[in-house]
């Protein structure tokens, strides 16, 4: 296709994803499943040209922003608290699945070299951040399970990519060293953290000195690619660099973003992420056409590869359950050995962790990046598609039902006891705002010049009533400016108190975002009213 035709085709895909999204909502189907099915259906329509895409391009276009979207909203306190469990899944489960699937692949296709078998295992082993986010955003889970699944999806891509590269190199060169592999993996991970740390803090520093709203949004959107490309250029993990930068950026964005930037950038970012996620799943559906054509048709493909792929699909699903249950029931005795305590495992939680193993864009991109000379390339690509399709449609599509059946939705809203409730935190923020109003409500002679403001913040009227009433009491421009200066000072004081409560661990990130949005809206309305023309 020419460049113009490619652009038109992309526009058609955007229209198709909107239609598929509406159909999924109307029929209450999983969005990812509808997009996958839609991609397959469109790919086989008469007259549709074959679509080929560079897997490296897929990774660099889609993966960095989708990883940062997850990392940006990562609750650092929860991530740090459950880091051990996250690593057990993100590293241990991926390695275990790679070896199990590799062994099954060799048993089903003995002529396939061991290195190619383990490369296949590495392709299908890491659950995907995009697929996990698409499913988890629509269900309610206990906080620990949600943190484990989201944290795993952020880090396991790096494990899968490293294993894949070592297995591929072993097949093509005939050389492999376990010691070199371990040291190389550690270097890639630590190097990725270092690059992400540098990029994240450089971004925060830059945003503190940029005043234009649109320039701030542009710089923020470029940051995931800066971290990913920078990490890859320095031969470390671009995935871990992106995740690290995203976590740092998410932690400091409450300090560096103004209310206007936060409201506008959030809207823009959500639209961009929706389009990227939807296009990823449609492209996965399109990949099936190339696989079928290379194997001589659907019938030949099923006859030649059906049984090995089913065996490997079973190995992918079963190995995760084995790993999750084994490690969950080893956590308590292992914690005792190091003098710590660990919460006892729950069969329901372990089952859900085992069931939540959706694969997606990374599995597809790794499979398509296999060298043409790689033994078993078509088998790997076909297996990757089947694993993606089944895990997204079956496991992802039934996630909500499984959660309700296990009764996990009834404990999904529980928070840690050491956090303040919404009412307690709101009272502290209101008090900080009222103190700021009291300090500015009197002039230098001690006369009360803003009585209405003092009354409003004392009784905490609604935002609309507060500003509407306040604006009618302003008589002249100087008094109007002073009036809204007091309001903005109160909002700033509330913001300082809100961040103090969060940084000291007294409120959770959920309440932080709730209060922050309220203060942002108050600030935008006060700034607009202060600058409104006098008529």
Per-residue pLDDT at 323: 93
The shares of helix, strand and coil residues in the chain, as percent rounded to the nearest 5, are: 80, 0, 20
Give the confidence band of 469 by pLDDT, cuts at 50, 70, 90.
very low
How many helices (H) and strands (E) would you count in the chain?
23, 0
Instruction: Say whether pLDDT at 465 is over 50.
Output: no
DSSP-assigned letter for residue 48: P
> Between residues 143 and 390, which one has the greater pLDDT?
390
Per-residue pLDDT at 304: 72
Per-residue pLDDT at 317: 94
Residues linked to residue 448 through DSSP beta bridges, in sequence order: 442
Give the confidence band of 100 by pLDDT, cuts at 50, 70, 90.
very high
In 3D, which of 522, 513, 525 has the Cα closest to residue 422? 513
Highest mean pLDDT among 68-82, 181-195, 424-438, 446-460: 181-195
For the segment 347-368, the average pLDDT, to the nearest whole number, is 82
Contacts with 259 (C-beta within 8 Å, 6 or more apart), sequence order:
519, 520, 521, 523, 524, 527
| CB-CB contact of 22 with 283 (8 Å) | no
Q: How many residues are there in the chain?
A: 535
The separation between CA 305 and the C-alpha centre of its own chain, rounded to angstroms, equals 33
The model's pTM = 0.70
Give dist(CA 330, CA 350) in Å, integer: 12
Highest mean pLDDT among 219-228, 368-377, 489-498: 219-228
> Between residues 135 and 318, which one has the greater pLDDT?
318
Instruction: Say whether pLDDT at 365 is over 80.
Output: no
Instruction: Say whether pLDDT at 462 is over 50.
Output: no
Instruction: Say whether pLDDT at 241 is over 50.
Output: yes
Per-residue pLDDT at 310: 93
Residues linked to residue 442 through DSSP beta bridges, in sequence order: 448
Give the confidence band of 459 by pLDDT, cuts at 50, 70, 90.
low
| CB-CB contact of 360 with 70 (8 Å) | no
The separation between CA 203 and the C-alpha centre of its own chain, rounded to angstroms, equals 19
Give dist(CA 245, CA 222) in Å, integer: 12
Give the confidence band of 533 by pLDDT, cuts at 50, 70, 90.
low
Label residues 305-337 b or e (16+ Cβ within 10 Å = b): beebbebbbebbbebbeebbbebbeebeeeeee
Per-residue pLDDT at 468: 37
> Between residues 506 and 314, which one has the greater pLDDT?
314
At 96 the three-state DSSP class reads helix
Give the confidence band of 376 by pLDDT, cuts at 50, 70, 90.
confident
| CB-CB contact of 156 with 89 (8 Å) | yes
For the segment 106-133, the average pLDDT, to the nearest whole number, is 84
Give dist(CA 89, CA 151) in Å, integer: 9
| CB-CB contact of 317 with 398 (8 Å) | no
What is the token pair recorded at 347? 């069969």
Per-residue pLDDT at 239: 85
Per-residue pLDDT at 463: 37
Direct distance between the N- and C-terminal alpha carbons of the chain, in angstroms, rounded to an integer? 58
Give dist(CA 496, CA 456) in Å, integer: 20
Instruction: Say whether pLDDT at 40 is over 90.
Output: no
At 338 the three-state DSSP class reads coil
pLDDT above 90: percentage of residues in the chain: 13
**What single string gives the DSSP state of each residue in 379-418?**
HHHHHHHHHHHHIIIIIITTHHHHHHHHTGGGGTT---TT
Per-residue pLDDT at 224: 93
In 3D, which of 164, 234, 194, 210 has the Cα closest to residue 377? 164
What is the token pair recorded at 429? 């923020």
* Distances in whole angstroms, Cα of residue 441 to Cα of each of 486, 523, 531, 532: 7, 18, 20, 22
For the segment 374-386, the average pLDDT, to the nearest whole number, is 84
Instruction: Say whether pLDDT at 505 is over 70.
Output: yes
Per-residue pLDDT at 461: 34
Q: pLDDT by residue (tens digit) across 246-298?
A: 989 888 888 888 888 888 888 888 888 888 878 877 777 677 777 777 767 77
In 3D, which of 486, 387, 395, 382 has the Cα closest to residue 135? 395
Rg (alpha carbons) of the chain, rounded to whole number: 27
Per-residue pLDDT at 534: 47
Give the confidence band of 56 by pLDDT, cuts at 50, 70, 90.
confident
In 3D, which of 491, 337, 507, 525 has the Cα closest to residue 417? 507
Q: Phi and psi of 349, rounded to 5°?
A: -65, -40
Contacts with 526 (C-beta within 8 Å, 6 or more apart), sequence order:
467, 484, 487, 488, 491
For the segment 399-424, the average pLDDT, to the nearest whole number, is 67
The separation between CA 407 and the C-alpha centre of its own chain, rounded to angstroms, equals 25
Q: Phi and psi of 174, rounded to 5°?
A: 75, 15
Give the confidence band of 312 by pLDDT, cuts at 50, 70, 90.
very high
The separation between CA 341 and the C-alpha centre of its own chain, rounded to angstroms, equals 29
DSSP-assigned letter for residue 474: -
For the segment 377-400, the average pLDDT, to the nearest whole number, is 84
pLDDT above 70: percentage of residues in the chain: 84
Which residue in this structure is represented by tokens 């710089």?
219
| CB-CB contact of 280 with 361 (8 Å) | yes
Give the confidence band of 453 by pLDDT, cuts at 50, 70, 90.
confident
Contacts with 200 (C-beta within 8 Å, 6 or more apart), sequence order:
223, 227, 244, 245, 246, 247, 248, 249, 252
Give the confidence band of 483 by pLDDT, cuts at 50, 70, 90.
confident
User: How many CB atoms sit inside 10 A of residue 45's CB?
Assistant: 7
Highest mean pLDDT among 67-76, 170-179, 191-200: 191-200
For the segment 303-323, the average pLDDT, to the nearest whole number, is 90
Mean pLDDT of the chain: 79
Per-residue pLDDT at 75: 76
| CB-CB contact of 295 with 380 (8 Å) | no
Per-residue pLDDT at 402: 86
């Amino acid at each position: 296709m020419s460049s113009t035709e490619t652009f038109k085709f992309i526009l058609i895909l955007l229209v198709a994803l909107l239609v598929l999204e509406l159909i999924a909502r109307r029929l209450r189907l999983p969005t990812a499943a509808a997009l996958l099915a839609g991609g397959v259906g469109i790919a086989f329509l008469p007259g549709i040209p074959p679509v080929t895409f560079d897997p490296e391009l897929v990774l660099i276009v889609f993966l960095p922003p989708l990883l940062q979207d997850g990392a940006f909203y990562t609750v650092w306190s929860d991530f740090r608290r459950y880091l051990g469990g996250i690593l057990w899944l993100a590293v241990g489960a991926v390695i275990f699945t790679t070896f199990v699937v590799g062994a099954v692949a060799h048993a089903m296709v003995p002529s396939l070299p061991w290195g190619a078998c383990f490369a296949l295992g590495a392709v299908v082993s890491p659950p995907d951040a995009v697929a996990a986010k698409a499913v988890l955003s629509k269900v309610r889970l206990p906080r620990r399970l949600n943190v484990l699944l989201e944290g795993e999806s952020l880090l396991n891509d790096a494990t899968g990519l490293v294993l894949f590269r070592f297995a591929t190199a072993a097949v093509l060169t005939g050389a492999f060293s376990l010691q070199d592999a371990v040291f190389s993996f550690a270097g890639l991970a630590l190097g990725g953290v270092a690059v992400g740390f540098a990029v994240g803090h450089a971004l925060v520093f830059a945003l503190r000195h940029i005043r234009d709203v649109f320039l701030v949004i542009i710089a923020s959107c470029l940051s995931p690619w800066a971290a990913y490309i920078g990490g890859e250029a320095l031969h470390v993990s671009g995935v871990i660099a992106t995740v690290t930068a995203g976590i740092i950026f998410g932690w400091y964005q409450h300090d560096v973003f103004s209310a206007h930037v936060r409201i506008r950038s959030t809207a823009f970012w959500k639209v961009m992420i929706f389009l990227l996620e939807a296009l990823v799943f449609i492209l996965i559906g399109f990949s099936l056409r190339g696989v079928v054509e290379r194997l001589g048709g659907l019938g030949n493909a099923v006859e030649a590869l059906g049984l090995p792929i089913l065996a490997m699909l079973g190995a992918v699903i079963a190995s995760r359950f084995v790993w999750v249950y084994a490690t969950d029931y080893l956590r308590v005795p292992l914690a005792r050995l190091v003098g710590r305590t660990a919460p006892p495992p729950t069969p329901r939680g372990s089952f859900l962790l085992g069931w939540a193993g959706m694969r997606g864009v990374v599995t597809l991109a790794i499979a398509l990046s296999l060298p043409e000379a790689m033994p078993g390339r078509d088998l790997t690509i076909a297996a990757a598609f089947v694993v993606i399709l089944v895990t997204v449609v079956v496991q992802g599509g039934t996630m909500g039902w499984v959660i309700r059946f296990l009764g996990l939705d009834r404990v999904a809203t529980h928070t840690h006891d050491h956090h303040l409730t919404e009412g307690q935190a709101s009272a502290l923020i209101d008090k900080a705002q009222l103190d700021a109003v009291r300090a500015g409500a009197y002039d230098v002679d001690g006369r009360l010049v803003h009585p209405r403001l003092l009354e409003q913040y004392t009784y905490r009227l609604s935002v609309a009533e507060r500003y509407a009433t306040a604006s009618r009491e302003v008589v002249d421009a100087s008094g109007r400016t002073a009036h809204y200066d007091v309001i903005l000072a109160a909002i700033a004081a509330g913001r300082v108190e809100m961040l103090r409560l969060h940084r000291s661990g007294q409120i959770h990130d959920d309440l932080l975002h709730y209060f922050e949005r309220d203060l942002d809206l108050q600030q935008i309305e006060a700034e607009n009213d202060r600058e409104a023309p006098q008529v």
